[in-house]
A and B are shown apart, each in its own frame.
Chain A
Amino acid sequence: AQKITQTQPGMFVQEKEAVTLDCTYDTSDPSYGLFWYKQPSSGEMIFLIYQGSYDQQNATEGRYSLNFQKARKSANLVISASQLGDSAMYFCAMREPRSNDYKLSFGAGTTVTVRA
């Protein structure tokens, strides 16, 4: 069963505007972690932001913020003031500690293209 769902294959955003990338997840474990990564065309995976299931506040890292809605099992990434360098693939991932091996399950990804 799909654990992480990203329903937006691709998005266009105007430079300096904000963009929201959707991510929903499925787990029965009360303890889990949610990650967002950025993958530019070079192929490297760049860690952006992390949200723990017990965190009381939404995570923020500079221009990145995570809109965590636990009851809806969603963890949307918001990128504010988009820049041309934000053009990349973005992956949502979840880690379940149930098996104690801390593997990540990834969504299909969303391609973001920032227009000047």
Chain B
Amino acid sequence: SAVISQKPSRDICQRGTSLTIQCQVDSQVTMMFWYRQQPGQSLTLIATANQGSEATYESGFVIDKFPISRPNLTFSTLTVSNMSPEDSSIYLCSVGRTLQGDTQYFGPGTRLTVL
């Protein structure tokens, strides 16, 4: 299985600021995804991080609020911009092994609290 790390593991931020979350994988993967899990809720896909091109965002999520980079096949960042308390969530990076996609693994998550 893929080994995925995320930084930071948790943070407490002030409203109006931005936080960049990093996701590092120990091997090259085709698919990388960013999910949000609000308190007591299930996971919601924010976007698919595409290597070398702009991310593909889901309905309700926009690039200005959640800019994503993916400079290579093992690394991606998600920025949560101009934060408000409603952004308090766990943010999870996920990777798929191949285009045929047998299993999707998740990073340990970043627990964000916005005051």
Binding partners A and B: yes
The interface bits of chain B over 32-49 (1 if a CB of A lies within 8 angstroms of the residue's CB, else 0) are: 010001000011110010
A103 & B48 in contact (Cβ 8 Å cutoff): yes
A45 & B92 in contact (Cβ 8 Å cutoff): yes
A104 with B45: in contact, given A47-B1, A95-B104 (CB under 8 Å)?
yes
B101 & A102 in contact (Cβ 8 Å cutoff): yes
Segment of A17-25, A68-76, A80-88, A106-114 engaged in the interface with chain B:
A106-114
Report Cα–Cα, A109/B111, bound state, in Å. Answer: 19
Report Cα–Cα, A93/B35, bound state, in Å. Answer: 13
Q: How far is the CB of B55 from chain A (nearest CB, A)?
A: 11
A106: chain B residues at CB < 8 Å are 42-44
B56 & A101 in contact (Cβ 8 Å cutoff): yes
A44 with B101: in contact, given A103-B33, A107-B42 (CB under 8 Å)?
no
A109: chain B residues at CB < 8 Å are 42
Q: How far is the CB of A12 from chain B (nearest CB, A)?
A: 19
- With beta carbons under 8 angstroms apart, the residue of B31, B48, B106, B107 that contacts A37 is B106
Q: How far is the CB of A115 from chain B (nearest CB, A)?
A: 22
Question: What are 5 A-B pairs at a CB distance below 8 A?
Answer: A35-B103, A46-B106, A47-B103, A50-B103, A101-B31
